[in-house]
Every structure is written in C-alpha cells, then in structure tokens.
Structure 1
Amino acid sequence: MADKLKVALALALIAAGVVGFYLLSEQALVLRVLSVLAGVAAGVAVAWQSEPGRRFVAFARESITETKKVVWPSRKETVQTTGLVFAFVVVMAVFLWVTDKSLEWVLYDLILGWK
C-alpha cells in the first residue's frame, strides 16, 4: 500500500511540474522549464524509494550489462546486410508487379474479354 502511495505521489509531482509550466506562462521560459524539470526530478526521487522503482533501477542496470555483452556488427557487415535487404525488396517488387500484371491479363483479357 505504501508503494502505491509513493508511485501516486511521484506521478502527482510530475503532473505538478507540468501544471507549473502552464501556470507560469507569464514568466521566462527558463523558469517554466525548470518547473517541469523540478517536478520530474522530485517524482523520480520519490518513485526511486518505492519497491517498483528499485526493481526498475535493477532492471535498467541489468539491461545495460546485457547490452554491453552484445557483439555489434562491423561496418562492412552492416553495409552487406543492408544491400541484401534492398536487393530482396527490389526482387519482391518485380515479382509482385509481374504477378499483378499476369493476373490482370488473365482476368481482363482472357476471362472477361475486356481489351
């Protein structure tokens, strides 16, 4: 129950920052943006203290660790793969065009006799 209240308070703080942005419409833009940033910072700080917030931080850290384990393709591999994708798209486009024109010819010329 306490965690739900913390999350609700965090959302309320973020909303208060956004509302402050509009309430301070006569003020300088810097002050309005700082209002939003302060609301978001306060909301994040409160959310961080809840159990879902701690789980999210742990998940984010594990995600960063897993991302570092990924073997990213080299530039050459990326260019080759992109070239294959483009070639496949062109071949499929030609195939679908030929299929469409063939069916059009069969339907309109042979079956219906529209010329």
Structure 2
Amino acid sequence: MNAKVEKTEAPNNGFDVVKLVLAGVLFVAGMVAYYYFADWNGWGRIGVLSAGVIAAVAITSFTGFGRSGREYLSESRFELRKVVWPTRDETIRTTLVIMVVVVILSLLLGLIDVILKWVVLDHLLKLGH
C-alpha cells in the first residue's frame, strides 16, 4: 500500500490548459487529415494519424494531467510486481474445476426446467379440461 495519503499538487495553470487544447487540436488534426487524404495509400494515412496522436500525447505528457498519469502508471507497475501469479498447474486445475461446476449446474438447471415443464404444462394446465 502506498504511504501517500494526500497529494498536494499545484492546480493546473493556464499554460497547462493551452497545452491540452493544443494537444486536442493536434489529435483532431491527425484524424481529419486521415480522412481528408483518402486517396493516399494506407501507410501514408496511418502515418499522418500516428503523427497527430504521438504529438498530442507528447504535449499532454508535459502537463499536470500527464505527470499524474505517468505517476499512476509507475505506481501501478510497482503494485503489479507484488502480485503472486498462479502457476500453470494451479491455472489448469482451477479451469477444470470451473468447467466441472458449469457442467453440473447446467445439468441441474436443465433438470429443474424439465420438471417444471412436466408439472406446469402436463399436469396443472390440463386440470381445467
């Protein structure tokens, strides 16, 4: 668990807002260029789109939002190292147990369906005739 309880960051300043708007404009420009140059080959269009997206991500990474995103990813990677992953045998055994339980429950629900059909359709509905 992270020892940081409260983060004290300076609020986004006006320059961060300008950077985010510029990143949004570059992202949209890349998408517009992708559709505008429809007569280009696939790689050229993908290159224009990728350039817009990469430029937008690069500019966004230098804002407060980008720094907090990088910090989140860094902490997530650190926490991921703490995870104890199951072995191959544990995974196979667990999968087999789940499959057996699914089959048993399917048979049980099918049996309940057959019994209810027999009771309702074959007996209760024929009482009035």
TM-score by length of 1: 0.89
Asked if residue 98 in structure 1 is aligned to residue 111 in structure 2, the reply is yes
What is the distance in 1 between the residues matched to 2:80 and 2:22?
Answer: 32
- Flag the structure with higher helix content: 1
What is the distance in 2 between the residues matched to 1:101 and 1:13?
Answer: 62
Q: How much has 1:35 moved relative to structure 2? A: 0.6
Q: How much has 1:51 moved relative to structure 2? A: 0.8
* 1:1-115 paired onto structure 2 within 5 Å: 2=14, 3-113=16-126
Residues 38-95 of structure 1: CA distance to partner in whole angstroms, max 9, x if unpaired?
Answer: 1011101111111111101110111111112111111000000000110111011001
Give 1:84's aligned amino acid.
Answer: V
Give 2:80's aligned amino acid.
Answer: T
* Secondary structure of 1:69 counterpart: coil
Unaligned stretches of 5+ in structure 2? 1-12
Residues 4-55 of structure 1: CA distance to partner in whole angstroms, max 9, x if unpaired?
Answer: 3322321221111111112222223222111111101110111111111110
What is the distance in 2 between the residues matched to 1:64 and 1:8?
Answer: 29
The CA RMSD measured in Å over matched residues stands at: 1.5
Q: Percent identity?
A: 35
TM-score by length of 2: 0.81
